[in-house]
């Protein structure tokens, strides 16, 4: 059994499974929902279709081409380290964490690079179609990242007596994110919780032997 579930195959299984799930969700959302359409699952969980030009959780910094290029370089860098970690027999859980981070970044790269070419624009009045005859909504590398998970766990107004924010609307955890973002976050959190000391040792072991 251990020969079948090698560290390399586990890494590939994580990469392909997360990537496939991420893209299935995004393609379904893109081709079945209007832009900013919302589906209520519970009071604190919504499927809310939106798109962003920037980094994870909708942050937008620097230019679009820079961000896409940065993601590609980052994925290549992480992929090289993952290959080295597998080759040097690092802990399985550690390899899974790195695989999650790699796949999350790769999932959003696919959106940025290809979605502008293979889909037309999503609007309040138009649901996007796959490979439209009139062409896509943006050139290669200028696609938007599809987001859909929204968890407004607490939504209320600040009391009027509070200075600066009194009367303002407050939402606890307002970012809208996708499955790829969740994979990156889970990978990073697990690394910090369980492998923070091991990460430094693994990095030095790989770079010294390289």
Active-site residues, by number, are 147, 181
d(CA 92, CA 114): 32
Contact, 185 vs 153, CB < 8 A? no
| Bridge-based pairing state of the strands 45-52 and 169-172 | unpaired
Name the residue among 29, 27, 33, 24 with its Cα closest to residue 127. Answer: 33
Q: Phi, psi (5° rounding) for residue 198? A: -70, -30
Q: Which residue has the tokens 């490979």?
A: 131
């Amino acid at each position: 059994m251990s020969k079948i579930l090698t560290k390399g195959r586990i890494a590939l299984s994580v990469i392909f499974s997360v990537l496939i799930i991420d893209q299935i969700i995004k393609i379904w959302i893109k081709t079945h929902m209007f832009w900013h359409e919302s589906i209520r699952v519970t009071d604190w969980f919504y499927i809310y279709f939106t798109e962003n030009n920037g980094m994870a959780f909708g942050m937008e910094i620097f230019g679009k081409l820079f961000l896409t290029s940065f993601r590609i370089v980052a994925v290549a860098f992480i992929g090289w380290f993952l290959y080295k970690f597998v080759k040097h027999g690092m802990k399985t859980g550690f390899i899974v964490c790195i695989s999650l981070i790699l796949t999350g970044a790769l999932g959003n790269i696919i959106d940025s690079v290809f979605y502008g070419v293979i889909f037309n624009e999503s609007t309040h009045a138009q649901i996007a179609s796959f490979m439209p005859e009139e062409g896509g909504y943006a050139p290669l590398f200028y696609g938007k990242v599809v987001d859909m998970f929204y968890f407004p766990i607490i939504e209320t107004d600040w009391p009027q007596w509070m200075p600066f924010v009194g009367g303002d609307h407050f939402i606890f955890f307002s970012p809208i994110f996708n499955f790829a973002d969740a994979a990156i976050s889970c990978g990073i959190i697990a690394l910090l919780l369980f492998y923070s000391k091991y990460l430094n040792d693994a990095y030095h072991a790989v770079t010294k032997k390289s």
